[in-house]
């Protein structure tokens, strides 16, 4: 039997996606990517798994790690600015996220020149 108290709410009360949520999700995903690379690198360099040294030295994996590390670092700086410099009182989370994303693209592109060049 459906609940009657839930039918009175408007349909617009759903989960809203915004730049802060995307930044939070990408920060978590990039953190997991960095930790997994670190674990695979340690297992491969210690000789536990024979296929891991070839995997962690792959150019594509290194490019993904570079993008993940740059975004994670820049977004961490954005979070520190929000916490300690009262940037959270300003309502420009979207602009800050776009700045972090743009800097990630520029720095990652510059870092991939020696990787693929």
Q: What is the pLDDT of residues 62-80, one digit of tens each?
A: 999 999 999 999 999 998 8
Sign of the dihedral defined by the CA atoms of residues 70, 73, 75, 81, in that order: negative
Q: What is the pTM of this model?
A: 0.79
More confident position, 41 or 19: 41
How far is the C-alpha of 104 from the C-alpha of 26, rounded, in Å?
12
CATH of domain 18-116: 1.20.1300.10
**Distance separating the N- and C-terminal Cα atoms of the chain:** 64
Taking the domains of the chain in order of start, what are their residue ranges? 18-116
Phi and psi of 68, rounded to 5°? -65, -45
């Amino acid at each position: 039997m459906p609940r009657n108290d839930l039918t009175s709410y408007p349909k617009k009360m759903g989960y809203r996606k915004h730049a802060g949520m995307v930044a939070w999700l990408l920060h978590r995903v990039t953190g997991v990517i960095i930790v997994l690379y670190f674990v695979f690198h340690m297992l491969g360099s210690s000789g536990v798994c024979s296929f891991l040294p070839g995997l962690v030295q792959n150019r594509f994996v290194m490019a993904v790690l570079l993008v993940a590390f740059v975004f994670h670092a820049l977004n961490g700086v954005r979070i520190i600015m929000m916490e300690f410099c009262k940037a959270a009182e300003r309502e420009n989370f979207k602009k800050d996220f776009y700045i972090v994303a743009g800097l990630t693209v520029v720095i990652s592109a510059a870092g991939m020149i020696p990787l693929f060049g």
